[in-house]
Amino acid sequence: MARKPIIAGNWKMNNNIAATRQLVSELIPVVADAVCDVVICTPYTSLAAAVEACKGTNIHVGAENVHWAEKGAFTGEISADMLVELGVEYVIIGHSERRTYFGETDLTVNKRMKAALAKGLKVILCVGETLEEREAGITAEVVRRQTKIAFAGIDNEELDNVVIAYEPVWAIGTGKTATSQDANDTIAIIRACMAELYCPRCAEERVRIQYGGSMNAKNASELMAMPQIDGGLIGGASLKAEDFGKVIHF
């Protein structure tokens, strides 16, 4: 069974409500005939507008983070129930910008994953090595550790609701892309890790793994031609309908 490709945009801290409505209206015709799943992940303040604007289209809406608690004294945080109430379907967890700037750890990633899945959200889990880790030759060790801890306590039945995004930190927002072969090789390591954690067939048939890191209209087709790469998590190139459309039609 072939894995259906999935391309997701990560808008980061860009686009207010008006800009969200505008970009979605431009995206709808551009991605209408996509053969892959299409997701846009927007800032919290734009989620309601994005959900409304994407109704009846093939564009799915995601958030960029979620807290693990159901409610309580967590100033500035948003719960999974709050996202579900808005009609949000996906959530990015463990993005390297959260890990680097906001103290996200493998353990908090795991807690967020469990909470999101328990409430029926689909998760885009980000893993990836820093430049120092790559130069130290420990990329495989790092992505295996991140993957194992993220999935601790998560049942096999949930695998269809998780997408993994392999994002080498040094390639995010830098214009430096991993070679398609390197990206493919590291994704194969992550898939092998999922086979150990669950089963070889689960990893082969049910686990979709994206590449992310300066993926754009120019390099998408080469990356997407690699057998292990099932999609992309797109930052900068998701902010313009024309660019995102070209990635979607890799």
- The residue range among 17-25, 50-58, 108-116, 227-235 that interacts with ligand PEP, by the rule CB under 6 A, is 227-235
Q: Using only C-alpha atoms, what is the Rg of the chain? A: 17
- Other residues' Cβ atoms within 10 Å of the Cβ of residue 132: 10
* 125 scored as a contact of ligand PEP (CB under 6 A): no
Measured distance CA(62)–CA(29) in Å, rounded: 20
- What lies within 8 Å, CB to CB, of 105 at 6+ separation is 99
- The residue range among 44-52, 102-110, 135-143, 235-243 that interacts with ligand PEP, by the rule CB under 6 A, is 235-243
Measured distance CA(199)–CA(85) in Å, rounded: 34
Shortest Å, Cβ 4 to ligand PEP: 20
Query: Which listed residue (64, 67, 95, 104) is catalytic?
Result: 95
Helix (H) or strand (E) holding 124: strand 122-127
CA atoms within 13 A of residue 37's CA, in its CB half-sphere: 22
Q: Which is nearer to ligand PEP, 19 or 192 (CB)?
A: 19
Quick one: which of 233, 241, 247, 248 contacts ligand PEP (CB under 6 A)? 233
Measured distance CA(83)–CA(178) in Å, rounded: 33
* 218 scored as a contact of ligand PEP (CB under 6 A): no
Q: Which is nearer to ligand PEP, 5 or 213 (CB)?
A: 213
Helices (H) then strands (E): counts for the chain: 11, 8
Helix (H) or strand (E) holding 60: strand 59-63
- Other residues' Cβ atoms within 10 Å of the Cβ of residue 222: 16
Q: Which residue is nearest to ligand PEP (CB)?
A: 235
At 60, which amino acid appears? H
Quick one: which of 236, 243, 248, 250 contacts ligand PEP (CB under 6 A)? 236
Shortest Å, Cβ 172 to ligand PEP: 4
Q: What b/e sequence results for 178-194 when a residue is b if at least 16 CB atoms lie within 10 Å of its CB, and e otherwise?
A: bebebbbebbbbbbebb
Quick one: which of 54, 235, 243, 248 contacts ligand PEP (CB under 6 A)? 235
At 18, which amino acid appears? A
Known catalytic membership, residue 95: yes
Shortest Å, Cβ 238 to ligand PEP: 7
CA distances from 50 to 56, 87, 93, 243 (A): 12, 10, 19, 19
Site string for ligand PEP, 161-200 (x = CB under 6 A): ------x----xx---------------------------
* 234 scored as a contact of ligand PEP (CB under 6 A): yes
Known catalytic membership, residue 167: yes
Quick one: which of 214, 243, 244, 247 contacts ligand PEP (CB under 6 A)? 214
Shortest Å, Cβ 214 to ligand PEP: 4
Two tokens, residue 232: 């992309």
Interacting residues toward ligand PEP by CB under 6 A: 10, 167, 172-173, 212-215, 233-237
Query: Catalytic amino acids?
Result: 95, 167
